Amino acid sequence: MAAPLPIPRRLGLLLLTMLALTATVLLAGCSVESAPAEDGQRGYRGRVQTPPLERPDFTMLDMYGEPYDFRAETEGKLTYLFVGYTHCPDVCPIHMASIASVLNQMPQYLDHVAVVFITADPERDTPERMREWLRAFSPRFVGLRATQEELRALESELGLPPSAVPVNAEGNYAVGHAAQVIAFSPHGPAHVVYPFGSRQADYANDLPRLMNDRWEER
């Protein structure tokens, strides 16, 4: 048993503890990253999807006009799927730029990741336009186009709200689309989705986990 500390030292310790506590509170308050909800999140910062979304089985035309068999092409790869449009000024390019930047920081995973962008605006998103737009982020990103029926079917299978292309009086149109990126595990369904507002740090935190997580205890 240690002898009781003399009063001044005990005071000092108390002060130190208080300081440490204050610092912790301050740091927590200033932290840029919002604290991940631990409940059912298993350390993920994306939104854990329960039940998981089955990996869909579909074929669409890619940005070279060739058929792209989603399951066959992405088998074994952590696959980020996003429905958007290239005339989108911020949500879509921000998601793409975030993922591209995280992949650049983790080149060891490059060959094990697929990023698939499906246009909700096939009228304006010609294969050329999709190539131009996706290349601005990464030469590895894949762009797909579908008929409206195919897209609706996929969105419904993935529980995404149906994308919409309403035209206003001036003939301009804004495309409504799901704001989240869906992450399919390399060999299975999607357990995690990234709503808009997800940060690079969120993708970076989750990527190695998603690569290795077998989701056994779920």
Query: Which residues in this chain contact other proteins in the complex, by CB under 8 A?
Result: 32, 34, 86-91, 93-94, 96-98, 100-101, 129, 132-133, 136-137, 160-161, 164, 168, 172, 174-180, 195-197, 199-201
Q: 17 or 104: whose CB is closer to other proteins?
A: 104
Run of H or E including 117? strand 113-119
Place of tokens 């096939």: 122
- The CB-of-88 to other proteins minimum distance in angstroms stands at 8
Going from the C-alpha of 116 to that of each of 7, 32, 37, 42, 136, the distances in angstroms are: 65, 29, 28, 25, 15
Nearer to other proteins (CB atom), residue 44 or residue 133: 133
**C-beta of 185 vs 198, nearer to other proteins:** 198
Nearest distance in Å: CB 134, other proteins: 9
Beta bridge partners of 193: 47, 182
Exposure class string for 128-153: b at 16+ Cβ within 10 A, else e: ebbbebbeebbeebbbbbbeeebbee
102 or 210, CB closer to other proteins?
102
Least distance from other proteins to the Cβ atom of residue 190, Å: 14
Length of the chain: 218
- Least separation in angstroms between residue 28's CB and other proteins is 15
